[in-house]
């Protein structure tokens, strides 16, 4: 019989649709410009060099300001548990969940990103999980507006993408599961799932209350502007 540990923490498991269905659902929410059905059909036929569809709806998109992002994040806040699934096989949580190995085992977690790694913060690391089949990625980040967390965006995104490509489940955490871990997951969604910053925030907030600090939001804005500018350039090149 399969061994199951008893966990002290409950976690929220949310059924998810395929990525394209998720994107359509996210885009039905306010603020984001949504192409009509005809435009979506045309868009699905335009692929970039990675096989991703070129998005006509980006033409009118502008990255929100930090103040606009904060206003959205602070509206309709609600209690958040220790861990929530925010994207297919991607979870965000706090230190309590990170230290609950029985729960992680029962969830089927295979990869962990610690966004608050190191002795001053959540000092777990590979040795803490040595009795589990876990791949660990540590990010020694401070939850401070002047901390440059953007240097970890692409490394973490590649780690998560590689885990998902192997049918793994990824748990991304920090101390509270609100700022650092959320920032890293938002960057992953923007880089690998090609969501805009607002789409990524909306997708995540459907399942967990998050609130990256203003400095992190500003770094996400710069990432968003860079990615959107590149995707607009590809769309213009395709249409020319």
pLDDT digits (tens, 9 = 90+) for 54-73: 666 677 789 999 999 999 99
Q: What is the C-alpha separation between 223 and 176, in angstroms, rounded?
A: 24
For the chain, what percent of residues have pLDDT higher than 90?
Answer: 67
pLDDT surpassing 90 at residue 207: yes
For the chain, what percent of residues have pLDDT higher than 70?
Answer: 75
Task: Tell me the pLDDT band of 120, cut-offs 50, 70 and 90.
Answer: confident
How many domains does the chain contain in total? Answer: 1
pLDDT at 66: 98
pLDDT surpassing 80 at residue 52: no
Task: Tell me the pLDDT band of 221, cut-offs 50, 70 and 90.
Answer: very high
Residue 130 DSSP code: T
Q: How far is CA 126 from CA 23, 31, 115, 117, 202, in A?
A: 34, 41, 14, 11, 32
pLDDT at 90: 99
Whether 27 is catalytic: no
- In this structure, is residue 110 part of a structural domain? yes
∠ CA 150-124-136, nearest 5°, is 60
- In this structure, is residue 186 part of a structural domain? yes
Sheet hosting strand 135-138, strand order edge to edge: 83-87, 90-93, 170-173, 111-114, 135-138
pTM equals 0.80
Helices of type H across 91-196: 95-98, 101-107, 153-165, 180-192
Question: What mean pLDDT do residues 19-26 have?
Answer: 46
pLDDT surpassing 90 at residue 16: no
- In this structure, is residue 17 part of a structural domain? no
More confident residue, 38 or 77: 77
Residue of 27, 59, 174, 192 marked active site: 174
Assign residue 98 the CATH number of its domain: 3.90.190.10
- In this structure, is residue 182 part of a structural domain? yes
- In this structure, is residue 232 part of a structural domain? yes
∠ CA 38-43-46, nearest 5°, is 145
pLDDT at 46: 58
- In this structure, is residue 165 part of a structural domain? yes
The pairing of strands 83-87 and 90-93 is antiparallel
pLDDT surpassing 90 at residue 201: yes
- In this structure, is residue 31 part of a structural domain? no
Question: What mean pLDDT do residues 227-239 have?
Answer: 83
Task: Tell me the pLDDT band of 101, cut-offs 50, 70 and 90.
Answer: very high
Rg (CA), the chain: 18
pLDDT at 93: 98
Domain that holds residue 188: 64-239
More confident residue, 125 or 36: 125
Q: At what angle do helices 214-239 and 66-74 cross, to 10 degrees?
A: 110
- In this structure, is residue 191 part of a structural domain? yes
Residue 118 has phi, psi (to 5 degrees) of 110, 160
Q: How far is CA 194 from CA 23, 103, 135, 208, in A?
A: 10, 31, 25, 20
Question: What mean pLDDT do residues 188-195 have?
Answer: 97
């Amino acid at each position: 019989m399969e061994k199951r540990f008893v966990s002290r923490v409950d976690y929220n498991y949310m059924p998810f649709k395929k990525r394209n269905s998720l994107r359509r659902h996210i885009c039905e929410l306010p603020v984001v410009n949504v192409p009509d059905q005809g435009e979506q059909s045309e868009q699905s036929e335009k692929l970039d060099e990675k096989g991703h569809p070129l998005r006509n709806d980006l033409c009118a998109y502008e990255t929100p300001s930090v103040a606009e992002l904060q206003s959205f994040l602070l509206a309709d806040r609600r209690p958040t548990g220790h861990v929530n699934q925010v994207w297919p096989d991607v979870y965000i949580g706090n230190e309590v969940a990170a230290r609950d190995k029985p729960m992680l085992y029962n969830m089927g977690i295979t990869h962990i990103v610690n966004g608050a790694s190191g002795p001053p913060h959540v000092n777990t690391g590979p040795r803490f999980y040595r009795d589990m089949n876990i791949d660990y990625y540590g990010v020694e980040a401070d939850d401070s507006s002047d901390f440059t967390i953007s240097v970890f965006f692409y490394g973490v995104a590649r780690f998560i993408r590689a885990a998902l490509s192997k049918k793994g489940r990824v748990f991304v955490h920090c101390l509270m599961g609100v700022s650092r871990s959320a920032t890293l997951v938002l960057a992953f969604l923007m880089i690998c799932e090609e969501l805009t910053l607002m789409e990524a925030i909306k997708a995540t907030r459907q399942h967990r209350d998050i609130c990256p600090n203003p400095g992190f939001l500003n770094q996400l804005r710069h990432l968003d502007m860079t990615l959107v500018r590149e995707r607009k350039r590809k769309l213009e090149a395709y249409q020319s």
